[in-house]
Structure 1
Amino acid sequence: MATSNRVFSISLPISAPSSHAPLRHAAAARMGGMTTPFYLKPVEVEHDRRLVRRYQWQSLLRVWAAMAVGIVMLFGFAIVLLSSIGHVMGQKSLWHWSNLFNMVWPALVPFIAINSVVQGRLKELSAAGTPLTAEMFSSRPSRMVLSPLDPLTTYNVCTETLSGLAMGMALGYGGPAMFSYFPFNGRILIGPRWPVWLAQCTEVVVVGEPGQQVEVRIRRRFGLDFFTVQRGGALHAVETVAAHLRTQFEQRDRALRAIRREQELERAALNAKLSALQAQVEPHFLFNTLANLKYLIRTDADTAQQMLDHLVGYLQNALPDMRSVSSTLERELALARSYLSIMQIRMGQRLRFRIEADDALLALPFPPAMLISLVENAVKHGLERASRPGAITITAKQLGDALCVQVIDDGVGLTEQMGQGFGLANIHERLQLLYGDKAALSVTAAEHGGVVATLAINKE
Structure 2
Amino acid sequence: MATSNRVFSISFPISAPSSHAPLRPAAAARMVGMKTPFYLTPVEIEHDRRLVRRYWRQSLLRMWGALAVGVLILFSVAIGLLSSIAPATGPNTGWRWSVPLSMIWPVLIPFVGVGSMVRHRLKELTEAGTPLTAEMFSARPSRMVLSPLDPLTTYNVCTETLSGLAMGMALGYGGPAVFSYFPFHGRILIGPRRPVWLTQCTEVVVGGEPGQPVEVRIRRRFGLDFFTVQRGGALHAVESVAAHLRTQFEQRERALRAIRREQELERAALNAKLSALQAQVEPHFLFNTLANLKYLIRTDANTAQQMLDHLVGYLQNALPDMRSVSSTLERELALARSYLSIMQIRMGQRLQFRIEADDALLARPFPPAMLISLVENAVKHGLERASRPGAITITAKQLGDALCVQVIDDGVGLTEQMGQGFGLANIHERLQLLYGDKAALSVTAAEHGGVVATLAINKE
Q: What TM-score does the superposition give when structure 1 sets the normalisation length?
A: 0.89
Identify the residue that residue 288 of structure 2 maps to in structure 1. 285
Whole-Å Cα distance in 1 between the matches of residues 250 and 224 of structure 2? Answer: 34
- Root-mean-square deviation (CA, aligned residues, Å) is 2.6
Q: CA deviation at 1:82?
A: 4.3
When structure 1 is superposed on structure 2, of 190-199 and 269-278 the one drifting more is 190-199
Q: CA deviation at 1:392?
A: 1.1
Whole-Å Cα distance in 2 between the matches of residues 179 and 260 of structure 1? Answer: 34
Identify the residue that residue 355 of structure 1 maps to in structure 2. 355
- 2:103 corresponds to 1:101: no
Secondary structure, aligned partner of 1:342: helix
The structure-2 alpha-carbon separation of the partners of 1:313 and 1:82, relative to structure 1 and needing over 3 Å to count, comes to: farther
Identify the residue that residue 403 of structure 2 maps to in structure 1. 403
User: How is 1:36-51 mapped onto 2 (pairs within 5 angstroms)?
Assistant: 36-51=36-51
The structure-2 alpha-carbon separation of the partners of 1:352 and 1:117, relative to structure 1 and needing over 3 Å to count, comes to: same
- The answer as to whether partners of 1:22 and 1:41 remain within 8 angstroms in 2 is no
User: How is 1:13-412 mapped onto 2 (pairs within 5 angstroms)?
Assistant: 22-23=24-25, 25-26=27-28, 30=32, 35-85=35-85, 88=88, 90-92=90-92, 94-109=93-108, 110-280=110-280, 281=282, 282=284, 283-291=286-294, 294=297, 298-299=301-302, 304-305=305-306, 307-412=307-412
Whole-Å Cα distance in 2 between the matches of residues 197 and 366 of structure 1? Answer: 63
Q: CA deviation at 1:351?
A: 1.6
Q: CA deviation at 1:396?
A: 2.2
Whole-Å Cα distance in 1 between the matches of residues 77 and 401 of structure 2? Answer: 79
Whole-Å Cα distance in 2 between the matches of residues 212 and 141 of structure 1? Answer: 24
Whole-Å Cα distance in 1 between the matches of residues 31 and 38 of structure 2? Answer: 13
- The answer as to whether partners of 1:296 and 1:304 remain within 8 angstroms in 2 is no
When structure 1 is superposed on structure 2, of 349-358 and 403-412 the one drifting more is 349-358
Cα distance per residue 1:362-417 (max 9 Å; x no partner) = 33322221111111101111111111111111222233333322211101111122
Q: CA deviation at 1:296?
A: 8.4
Q: CA deviation at 1:113?
A: 0.9
The code of the aligned residue for 1:106 comes to W
The structure-2 alpha-carbon separation of the partners of 1:373 and 1:240, relative to structure 1 and needing over 3 Å to count, comes to: same
- The answer as to whether partners of 2:200 and 2:220 remain within 8 angstroms in 1 is yes
Whole-Å Cα distance in 1 between the matches of residues 314 and 210 of structure 2? Answer: 47
Cα distance per residue 1:283-310 (max 9 Å; x no partner) = 333313532674688335xx835x4443
The code of the aligned residue for 2:24 comes to P
The code of the aligned residue for 1:443 comes to V
Q: CA deviation at 1:236?
A: 0.5
When structure 1 is superposed on structure 2, of 131-140 and 399-408 the one drifting more is 399-408
- The answer as to whether partners of 2:143 and 2:218 remain within 8 angstroms in 1 is yes
Identify the residue that residue 3 of structure 1 maps to in structure 2. none
The code of the aligned residue for 1:288 comes to A
Whole-Å Cα distance in 1 between the matches of residues 34 and 104 of structure 2? Answer: 51
Q: CA deviation at 1:68?
A: 1.9
The structure-2 alpha-carbon separation of the partners of 1:51 and 1:451, relative to structure 1 and needing over 3 Å to count, comes to: same
The structure-2 alpha-carbon separation of the partners of 1:406 and 1:107, relative to structure 1 and needing over 3 Å to count, comes to: same
The structure-2 alpha-carbon separation of the partners of 1:103 and 1:317, relative to structure 1 and needing over 3 Å to count, comes to: farther
**How many percent of aligned residue pairs carry the same amino acid?**
79
Secondary structure, aligned partner of 1:88: coil
Secondary structure, aligned partner of 1:440: strand
The code of the aligned residue for 2:142 comes to S
Whole-Å Cα distance in 2 between the matches of residues 184 and 256 of structure 1? Answer: 26
- The answer as to whether partners of 1:409 and 1:451 remain within 8 angstroms in 2 is yes
Whole-Å Cα distance in 1 between the matches of residues 22 and 63 of structure 2? Answer: 33
Whole-Å Cα distance in 2 between the matches of residues 115 and 195 of structure 1? Answer: 31
Q: Which runs of 5+ in 2 are unaligned?
A: 11-20
Identify the residue that residue 14 of structure 1 maps to in structure 2. none
Cα distance per residue 1:17-58 (max 9 Å; x no partner) = xx866356526864xx85441222323412111111100110
The structure-2 alpha-carbon separation of the partners of 1:401 and 1:298, relative to structure 1 and needing over 3 Å to count, comes to: closer
When structure 1 is superposed on structure 2, of 173-182 and 119-128 the one drifting more is 173-182
The code of the aligned residue for 2:411 comes to G
- The answer as to whether partners of 2:356 and 2:395 remain within 8 angstroms in 1 is yes
Identify the residue that residue 13 of structure 2 maps to in structure 1. none
User: How many residues were matched structurally?
Assistant: 443
Whole-Å Cα distance in 1 between the matches of residues 435 and 391 of structure 2? Answer: 31
Identify the residue that residue 16 of structure 1 maps to in structure 2. none
Whole-Å Cα distance in 2 between the matches of residues 371 and 402 of structure 1? Answer: 16
The structure-2 alpha-carbon separation of the partners of 1:196 and 1:362, relative to structure 1 and needing over 3 Å to count, comes to: farther
Secondary structure, aligned partner of 1:143: strand
Cα distance per residue 1:397-456 (max 9 Å; x no partner) = 233333322211101111122121110111111122222233222211111110111222
The structure-2 alpha-carbon separation of the partners of 1:376 and 1:77, relative to structure 1 and needing over 3 Å to count, comes to: same
The structure-2 alpha-carbon separation of the partners of 1:216 and 1:443, relative to structure 1 and needing over 3 Å to count, comes to: same
Secondary structure, aligned partner of 1:45: coil
Cα distance per residue 1:55-100 (max 9 Å; x no partner) = 01100111111222223333333444444455625543x3323111
Whole-Å Cα distance in 2 between the matches of residues 222 and 68 of structure 1? Answer: 18
Secondary structure, aligned partner of 1:50: helix
Secondary structure, aligned partner of 2:290: helix
Cα distance per residue 1:181-213 (max 9 Å; x no partner) = 223332222111222222111112223345322
Secondary structure, aligned partner of 1:437: helix
Cα distance per residue 1:96-136 (max 9 Å; x no partner) = 23111012221222210111111111111111111111110
